[in-house]
Structure 1
């Protein structure tokens, strides 16, 4: 029987071109299964086969568990550590206790089981071998032939015994992928499941579109043109943002091609129904958004950088075109630019702006106790919060026509008083005097630190440089200087103690 094991291992290893160790593991698994069938399926069995002689030993084993471990299920396969200690065993939690038991013969039943296990192991090894050749191609285009299709998706034959799967949700709506058809897709991931690794292909992913653009537009692969982003509604519409790296290159014209030949090839690969808009990227976000909203013509834009939102005004007669069917145009433009876009008619945009401006004027009149004229000037000059009035550098204030040092000082004092009252009413943290008047500190930074729980010099001294850079939004040099200044009393105390 021992020689038979060696014979089986040699034969299968040579036939299937897999390692002998893999076959030995399959034989051990099969013998363990046969042993459990004889003595009881509840037990845990380990079989060890000698790789040179074919001799094998069988062990029954128990996993050592903590007495309070809720995962303890059965004494058939597990043992509590207290019980093991009582038996005089020197073991640790997570290890195994083993006892030798009589081995079953590598007879007909064991051989039959071994055959099933070996076949499964060989298939798994073959699949892993094939898939490993594709691991470096994740994120790239692949092409194959439709092997079969069902309600879950489509199996693709990539050649050389390699198969991939397109789940239904990764297909383009309207895709008619019949058996034998050649199809291209993006190798999205290699997913592990009970049957081994499985290659997943997507045709709905936005990167499928950008990879097709790279394939059809040589200027992209030559780095004359960069694809800056893309947004896609599979099967319906998409937007791709591009920029030229050379002054004499027209990025939109290059992507569209002569008489639209290049973009038509891409569209055909996407099923023939997906419209692809090529958008000119711009470093100025307002200009970029205007380009992304095409074909709609943007007449006005109000930008809120803090909230990353924009109010976009268009002609009331073109409002439906700007929004798009089901909000598609504005949604794609928003995905492409990364900003939240609120599309409205010019009249609505102006009314909203005026309402927000008036609300700001009313805030300044109420909190700063100034008249409407002064409040209006502050709003027109870009002051949008009380913090702006309280902590914007004096030089910027003095640049406003009609504002002198006395007026600026009074406005700053009133704004700081209003903020202090607001903080007290909301039970917010306030900076202590030592932090507020520390060398190198300014009021704006002190209040920002206090809102993050750093209220005293002692609190500041305990911070790390990278933490302070993130909280205070300052550079590393200033952060390090402030921390060392805050720690100065520590060193003074040490010197006194030594003295």
Structure 2
């Protein structure tokens, strides 16, 4: 591109053509041209000089000038002059002003023209990358359609027309056959700005992709009449989606299924035959869990809100339905509802309750020095631990059939005394095992749990933070955590001080 050969108005036309072709602002192209001219001019007049080029936006004329700053003390003879020199040259300039001296037009040689072309190309690419980043960063959460450009072992490159995107292997649907040239719908999960340009990351395995597909297929979801509450997927195999209708006259499940299943079938086809179950969402957690376990029909649900878990009892002949192949049904139901779901048969539940009843009765007999009749009554009334009795109001105990005020008061005092002695024992043991203050003060675990950790050789917060969720769950068990994910949340809380230390070092 020899700029000297381009007529002035044609220079503007070239900028407009590049702007349209690359979908970037014309001003960006002209700025790139100006920089290229500046670089060529400095090559001719001196690289150290402050030479600037300007292209007239209306007629395309090129103006080149050398700028010299007026200063008190000169540090660079080529770009500065003193205030005294400016006065001698009768220039009406103050310190900080620039003297602008026009330079003759440049006759671009072959090398200079090539350099200019490279600078323009580079600047246009940079502007294109910037445009691409700003265009797609606001589209995170949208579905895009592209053409498969390359299929590699760990990723697939998608041509979106105005940019390229990547689907990593873990974001693909397992066993899906992807071939170059195929059209593909994907979900934008992230856009990052890197030196080589915007990096657009897509997914076909995310829960959000499934929700977005339903939004496209079901007008009621797009209009906000029906709301997708939660999604659980095992990509390419099975998925559950819970939906709720803000309009009582519209059935959310029926609307998502569509006439003769047309709407859900469109989503299933896009996801390579992934089996999709649409669940009516409910504010009542028990109802939601029961709905999520379909097609199994539970006969009983026991909820432990503190632990975030539910025990679901099913008839013996429905156990395999409730659990699903390789535990898939109960696993998806747990993910969909946010509750840890434990499936038991009626026989298993009866046996478990009997074991719990016997164990709690024995604890109450030994700890409170009471007979088995009173212990049985306490367990039957729902008291699970000595602390439950110690914390109970006196009238709550007197309301138990056969309990008078004296008996209730005596039981309460014995329970409180036992809890006090137990706390003292735990504190003494923690001190003996030399538990460090950071672990002792960790608010997410009880002192009994901290003692159990110490008995297993973990006496610092770092020691807890270095465990994985399986190790912590095995040490403290189901009495403390609903599941391994629950244990993992506690570990992440213990690691918070690591991240704050890193931030303070920056």
Q: TM-score range by the shorter chain?
A: 0.5 to 0.7
Residue of structure 2 in register with 1:209 after alignment: 210
CA distance in 2, matches of 1:360, 1:406: 23
Superposition deviation, residue 131 in structure 1? 3.5
Q: Are the aligned partners of 1:242 and 1:278 in contact in 2 as well (CA < 8 Å)? A: yes
CA distance in 1, matches of 2:148, 2:409: 76
Deviating more after overlay: 396-405 vs 261-270: 396-405
Give the number of aligned pairs: 373
Residue of structure 1 in register with 2:139 after alignment: 137
Superposition deviation, residue 281 in structure 1? 1.7
The residue matched to 2:165 in structure 1 has which SS?
Answer: strand
CA distance in 2, matches of 1:363, 1:19: 81
Superposition deviation, residue 338 in structure 1? 1.0
Relative to structure 1, is the Cα distance of residues 284 and 29 closer, same or farther in structure 2, using a 3 angstrom cutoff? farther
Q: Are the aligned partners of 1:157 and 1:164 in contact in 2 as well (CA < 8 Å)? A: yes
Q: Are the aligned partners of 1:24 and 1:49 in contact in 2 as well (CA < 8 Å)? A: no
CA distance in 1, matches of 2:51, 2:424: 76
The residue matched to 1:421 in structure 2 has which SS?
Answer: helix
CA distance in 1, matches of 2:404, 2:15: 92
C-alpha RMSD over aligned residues: 3.9
Residue of structure 1 in register with 2:492 after alignment: none
Residue of structure 2 in register with 1:314 after alignment: 314
Residue of structure 1 in register with 2:328 after alignment: 328
CA distance in 2, matches of 1:147, 1:305: 50
Relative to structure 1, is the Cα distance of residues 196 and 367 closer, same or farther in structure 2, using a 3 angstrom cutoff? same
Relative to structure 1, is the Cα distance of residues 157 and 341 closer, same or farther in structure 2, using a 3 angstrom cutoff? same
CA distance in 2, matches of 1:109, 1:320: 77
Residue of structure 2 in register with 1:350 after alignment: 350
The residue matched to 1:366 in structure 2 has which SS?
Answer: helix
CA distance in 2, matches of 1:354, 1:117: 82
Superposition deviation, residue 113 in structure 1? 6.2
Residue of structure 2 in register with 1:226 after alignment: 227
Residue pairs, 1:225-244, within 5 angstroms: 225-244=226-245
Residue of structure 2 in register with 1:125 after alignment: 127
Give the TM-score taking structure 2 as reference length. 0.64
Residue pairs, 1:173-192, within 5 angstroms: 173-192=174-193
Give the TM-score taking structure 1 as reference length. 0.65
Superposition deviation, residue 107 in structure 1? 8.5
Superposition deviation, residue 380 in structure 1? 1.8
Superposition deviation, residue 326 in structure 1? 2.2
Residue of structure 2 in register with 1:426 after alignment: 426
CA distance in 2, matches of 1:29, 1:200: 38
Superposition deviation, residue 428 in structure 1? 7.2
CA distance in 2, matches of 1:56, 1:308: 73
Relative to structure 1, is the Cα distance of residues 123 and 359 closer, same or farther in structure 2, using a 3 angstrom cutoff? same
Deviating more after overlay: 273-282 vs 146-155: 146-155
CA distance in 2, matches of 1:166, 1:427: 53
CA distance in 1, matches of 2:366, 2:38: 81
The residue matched to 1:426 in structure 2 has which SS?
Answer: helix
Residue of structure 2 in register with 1:85 after alignment: none
The residue matched to 1:137 in structure 2 has which SS?
Answer: coil
CA distance in 2, matches of 1:343, 1:12: 71
CA distance in 1, matches of 2:342, 2:189: 33
Unaligned runs of 5+ in 1: 35-44, 58-105, 430-447, 453-499
The residue matched to 1:143 in structure 2 has which SS?
Answer: strand
Superposition deviation, residue 175 in structure 1? 2.6
CA distance in 1, matches of 2:112, 2:374: 94
Are 2:403 and 1:403 equivalent residues in the alignment?
yes
Are 2:275 and 1:275 equivalent residues in the alignment?
yes
The residue matched to 2:141 in structure 1 has which SS?
Answer: coil
Superposition deviation, residue 49 in structure 1? 5.4
Superposition deviation, residue 259 in structure 1? 1.9
Deviations 1:292-323 (A, max 9, x none): 11122223333222211222233334323322
Residue of structure 2 in register with 1:285 after alignment: 285
Q: Are the aligned partners of 2:242 and 2:278 in contact in 1 as well (CA < 8 Å)? A: yes
CA distance in 1, matches of 2:211, 2:339: 21
Relative to structure 1, is the Cα distance of residues 56 and 424 closer, same or farther in structure 2, using a 3 angstrom cutoff? farther
Superposition deviation, residue 186 in structure 1? 1.2
Q: Are the aligned partners of 1:172 and 1:204 in contact in 2 as well (CA < 8 Å)? A: yes
Residue of structure 1 in register with 2:265 after alignment: 264
The residue matched to 2:415 in structure 1 has which SS?
Answer: helix
Residue of structure 2 in register with 1:71 after alignment: none
Deviating more after overlay: 414-423 vs 321-330: 321-330
Q: Are the aligned partners of 2:390 and 2:412 in contact in 1 as well (CA < 8 Å)? A: yes
CA distance in 1, matches of 2:39, 2:323: 64
Q: Are the aligned partners of 2:36 and 2:120 in contact in 1 as well (CA < 8 Å)? A: yes
Superposition deviation, residue 11 in structure 1? 9.5
Relative to structure 1, is the Cα distance of residues 47 and 296 closer, same or farther in structure 2, using a 3 angstrom cutoff? farther
Q: Are the aligned partners of 2:38 and 2:53 in contact in 1 as well (CA < 8 Å)? A: no
Deviating more after overlay: 391-400 vs 369-378: 391-400
CA distance in 2, matches of 1:342, 1:28: 73
Superposition deviation, residue 121 in structure 1? 3.6
Superposition deviation, residue 226 in structure 1? 1.9
